Amino acid sequence: MRKDTMVERRFSLIGPMLDERMRRLVAAAEAQVLGYGGASAVARQTGVSRRAIAIGMNEIKLAAPLSGSTGRVRKAGGGRKKATHKDPTLQRDLEKLIEPVTRGDPQSPLRWTCKSLRKLAAELKAQGHRVSYRVLGEVLEQIGYSLQANRKTTEGMSHPDRNAQFEHLNRRVTEELASGQPVISVDTKKKELVGDFKNAGRQYRPKGDPEKVRVHDFIIPELGRANPYGVYDIGKNLGWVNVGTDHDTSAFAVESIRRWWKSMGGILYPKAERLLITADGGGSNGTRVRLWKVELQKLAEELGFPIGVCHLPPATSKWNKIEHRLFCFITMNWKGQPLVSHEVIVQLIKSTTTAQGLKVDCQLDTNIYPSGQKVSDEALAQVNLQRDDFHGEWNYTISPRQQSLKL
């Protein structure tokens, strides 16, 4: 076996355990043993440069102490210099480009573009700096920068009585639950395109065989969209979703509550004396939507008992119970699954469960709900509505005008 091959084998065994100085000393010792041409052969087989081997030979010749006695591996000031050391103005010019204040500077070269490492490097090179985008990544890390996404923290203007409304709503919900009355949280989930479209998330499939979906998300006219309107029973931890195929109107919203009562609510609460609904302040169940109140009046007549409503204050829809106790789990359940038909959507919603006991029922609603329906002042005046003393526009009760049999 050739000597240089033996050197390569020995170095492959011991090399990973050596620090920088010991690597050059071992390589230098091997080179000296090989004699003439040994430095070149060892450099070729070990990857240690001839210059480092020469330094190691000189250290052996001078019998310099090992790193264990000095605590140092290389000479003071040795090693490759940092980019910011070789180019003192690099950090300053780099920070000028990425500082948030440059967003408001119309003359900033990166004002209207993505601040990628390559574009930052190109701009710095234009300013006379010699730096690669890879080195820029190291410099940014050294000075405390990292890749970060947007974070939703700024809520904008909030109503001065926002907290008071939450306390009022919580008090009402607690009282109704304690007395065994039904309390539901309602809302419309995000409208979904029906068809073989990409759905966020991943699911297990055979390797290299992802499910193929459309490149563009253009609506398929014959399939349309799905409008899932949800009803979440706060006391029982049960969900009901009515998947509509037409417009998301107040008539559709109240029909969803009606279907929940017929299929689930009436069975769970056979002795109910009233119903409390918590809802957002906008959309088909908004505080200012006349049709919402007119349709609730019809439902109250059918149920034969009052329906109380407490709206969440403005800009707080993410605190609606249904969002984080029902809708989020539906989204997780169908992640990565194309919603190819309304029937598939219904089955995926029905199969949603949690370890905390959530169960969901679902139904397809193919009824037509025309949009743009106007409610006259006379029709609104027929609603038997009693406003609460505290923010009556958010908290009110709609009672039947005459006693009716429960559904």
Q: Contact 34/42 with Cβ under 8 angstroms?
A: yes
3-class secondary structure, 306: coil
Sequence-distant (≥ 6) Cβ neighbours of residue 216 within 8 angstroms = none
Q: What is the pTM of this model?
A: 0.69
Series of mean pLDDT values for 10-residue runs along the chain (407 residues): 72 85 90 89 88 90 60 61 80 80 52 74 90 88 80 76 95 96 96 93 83 91 95 97 97 98 96 96 94 97 96 91 95 93 96 95 96 94 96 96 56
pLDDT digits (tens, 9 = 90+) for 165-209: 999 999 999 999 999 999 999 999 999 999 999 998 888 778 888
Separation in Å, CA 258 to CA 76, 180, 241, 295, 400: 81, 20, 12, 10, 15
Angle, CA 134 vertex, CA 129 and CA 138 arms, to 5°: 90
pLDDT digits (tens, 9 = 90+) for 310-362: 999 998 888 999 999 999 999 999 999 999 999 999 999 999 999 999 999 99
Q: Contact 73/19 with Cβ under 8 angstroms?
A: yes
Q: What is the pLDDT of residue 149?
A: 79
Q: What is the pLDDT of residue 87?
A: 85
Q: What is the pLDDT of residue 95?
A: 82
Distance in angstroms (rounded) separating the CA atoms of residues 64 and 62:
5
Distance in angstroms (rounded) separating the CA atoms of residues 174 and 24:
75
Which of 137, 21, 31, 37 lies closest to 83, judged by CA? 137
Q: What is the pLDDT of residue 114?
A: 66
